Amino acid sequence: MLSKAKIKFIKSLQVKKYRKQEQCFVVQGAKSVQELLASDFEVSLVLGTADFFAHTSQQIHAETIEVTAKELTDLSEFQTNDSALAVARLKLNHPLTIRPNTFALVLDDIRDPGNLGTIIRTADWFGIHTIIASDETADFYNPKVISATMGSFVRVEIYYTNLEDYLGKTTLPVFGAYLDGKDVHHTSFGSSGLIVIGNESRGISDSLEKFITDKITIPRYGQAESLNAAIATAVICDNIVRHKA
Amino acid sequence: MLSKAKIKFIKSLQVKKYRKQEQCFVVQGAKSVQELLASDFEVSLVLGTADFFAHTSQQIHAETIEVTAKELTDLSEFQTNDSALAVARLKLNHPLTIRPNTFALVLDDIRDPGNLGTIIRTADWFGIHTIIASDETADFYNPKVISATMGSFVRVEIYYTNLEDYLGKTTLPVFGAYLDGKDVHHTSFGSSGLIVIGNESRGISDSLEKFITDKITIPRYGQAESLNAAIATAVICDNIVRHKA
């Protein structure tokens, strides 16, 4: 039985202020909850249908409540979910170390939660585990972000910081997409580096341009003025892995 | 002065049924409206702020009404728009001819309007002008689609049809992304063809598999199960243009 207090608690976690206060976030959908249960996140609560629990092989070290599909649907404000929901603890926002011979993404004010989620899913596809994000970037634990990652949030870590300070200290090459950069089809990315992805509307901040060591360009064959931020991320990552291979 | 009848009419065009009945759709935001005015779409109404009209050089052959930013904001249900809005006639859904030596996209039930809009924008970037879509694909004239194209809707045409019938008649090579296809980094795409993009949840329909002449794969270096449909489109397009060049 799902108490009114639990319903109120879960709904409150849609708001960043309450996620911070409670140090918890919500994961929805059978696949994402199963990925969560198999990860090192600390899970405190799992709601699921009888069918979900019958088909979930992961050990659950948390309070579990069997609910109806209707109860879950009522809890879902923006995505269809009639199977499972979990509450887990936020991970500490520690400075991340970038593994040797890998690339990391640097997100310069990616505001749209769907874009951030898609970027995390794309990073996971291309084997990128680390994201450094400006403080103005959408919150990793926003339920729309978690949903758009399609489970990849368990394999990609994010660190929010001031990008000028961060980029001022790095010794890695810093790639950034500009209209007048070097064609990514003919760029040697080397074995490690940072890829700066600019804001949806204005691209890379003027204040960060001085930290870009390698300006790159995705060649354009048509007339669109720009590419969506997540799309640009994917094309750059595909060119990096190709050149590494 | 914006009449109540006009407000009601514009708001009704958010619904497909009324777009079909009136044969009209809505375009929002200064940049998209300017792209529309420079295109061959037939525009019937333009609402704009004094500032918008002062900075718009395109000839306007339509009724124009000067409005306040507040009036526009009140008309916008899902995007920030305080500058301009236009109403234009739908284009006839005629069978499209694919230009020689070009590629076209075939969309197999892309349901999310944001994904469809991003695919159209991406197609425009890579010089693809033609999209063939299943009847279940999101409506091109949905305001969320138009918005996500960032103006590219004026340069990319879409034709809704039954894909089994369509693919059964084509003589072009038909590429489709599968997990066990040929690595796109080592695929020769030739100079023309169709690229089938599968539905967000289930990929390419089983009923279409027999029409795929060339199975391709975007190589994966991490652990995400799949890529977003628009992301996959972009990576495939980038590999096509690279191999054509």
Give the rounded distance of the alpha carbon of B136 from its chain centre.
14
Q: Is the pLDDT of residue A95 over 80?
A: no
CA–CA dist A221, A105 (Å, integer): 26
Using a CB–CB cut-off of 8 Å, the residues of A that contact B are 114, 118, 121-129, 148, 150-152, 155, 185, 218-228, 230-231, 234-235, 238-239, 241-242, 245
- B103-244 is classed in which CATH architecture? 3-Layer(aba) Sandwich (3.40)
pLDDT score of A56 more than 80: yes
Are B224 and A124 within 8 A, CB to CB?
Answer: yes
| Interface with A, mutate which of B152, B153, B218, B235 (most A CBs under 10 A) | B235
Instruction: Indicate if the pLDDT at residue B79 is higher than 80.
Output: no
pLDDT at B123: 98
Give the Cα-Cα-Cα angle B55, B58, B60 (nearest 5 degrees).
Answer: 110
B245 pLDDT above the threshold of 70: no
DSSP string of A65-121, one letter each residue: EE--HHHHHHH-SSS--SSEEEEEEPPP-PPPPPPTT-EEEEES----HHHHHHHHH
The reply to whether B103-244 shares the fold of B4-89 is no
Question: CA-CA distance, A101 to A110, in Å (whole number)?
Answer: 25
Strands B193-197 and A103-107: unpaired
d(CA A145, CA A157): 13
Contact (CB<8Å) A238/B238: yes
Question: Quick one: tokens of A45?
Answer: 């609560």
Find the residue in B nearest to A186 (Cα).
B242
Pairing of strands B174-183, B214-217: parallel
Report whether A33 contacts A46 (CB < 8 A): yes
Residue A214 three-state SS: strand
pLDDT over 80 (residue A79): no
User: Which of B125, B148, B245 has its CB closest to that of A227?
Assistant: B125
Please state the domain extents for chain A: 4-89, 103-244
- Closest-CA distance of chain A to residue B222, Å: 4
Would you call A234 and B239 a contact, using CB atoms and an 8 Å cutoff?
A: no
pLDDT at position B197, please? Answer: 97
Best to test chain A binding among B227, B228, B236 (most A CBs inside 10 Å): B228
Residue B238 has pLDDT above 60, yes or no: yes
Q: What's the whole-number mean pLDDT along residues B212-216?
A: 97
Residues of A in contact with B220 (CB under 8 A): 125-126
| Exposure letters A54-77 (e unless 16+ CB within 10 A, then b) | eebeeeeeeebeebeeebbeebbe
Average pLDDT of the segment spanning A141-168? 95
Residue of A nearest to B222 (CA): A127
pLDDT band per the 50, 70, 90 thresholds, residue A176: very high
Please name the residues in contact with A94: beta carbons below 8 A apart, sequence gap of 6 or more: A159
Per-residue burial over A198-220, b if 16 or more Cβ lie within 10 Å, else e, is bbbeebbbeebeebbebbbebeb
pLDDT at A242: 87
Which of B83, B125, B131, B183 best probes binding to A when mutated, by most A CB atoms within 10 angstroms?
B125
Please count the other Cβ atoms lying within 10 Å of the Cβ belonging to residue A41. 18
Contact A231 B230 (CB under 8 A): yes
Q: What is the pLDDT at residue A78?
A: 65
CA angle B124, B128, B131 (to 5 degrees): 100
How does pLDDT run across B103-117, given as a tens digit for each residue? Answer: 999 999 999 999 999
Complex ipTM, two decimals? 0.93
Closest residue by Cα to residue B25 from B110, B86, B116, B93: B86
Compare A244 and B141 and report the one with higher pLDDT.
B141
How many angstroms separate the CA of residue A226 from the nearest CA in chain B?
A: 7
Contacts of B235 in chain A (CB under 8 A): 234-235, 238
By C-alpha distance, which of A224, A233, A108, A203 is closest to B119? A224
**Which residues partner with A215 through β-bridges?**
A176
pLDDT-derived band at A245, boundaries 50, 70, 90? low
Taking only Cα atoms into account, the Rg of chain B, rounded to an integer number of angstroms, comes to: 20
| Chain A residues lying within 8 Å of B242, measured CB to CB | 185
C-alpha B217/C-alpha B178 separation (Å) is 6
CB atoms near residue A104 (< 10 Å): 22
Residue A68, pLDDT above cutoff 90? yes
How far apart CA A67 and CA A38 sit, in angstroms, is 21
Q: What per-residue confidence (pLDDT) applies to A96?
A: 76
Instruction: Please report which confidence band the pLDDT of residue A216 belongs to, taking 50, 70 and 90 as the band edges.
Output: very high
For the domain B4-89, what is the CATH code?
3.30.1330.30
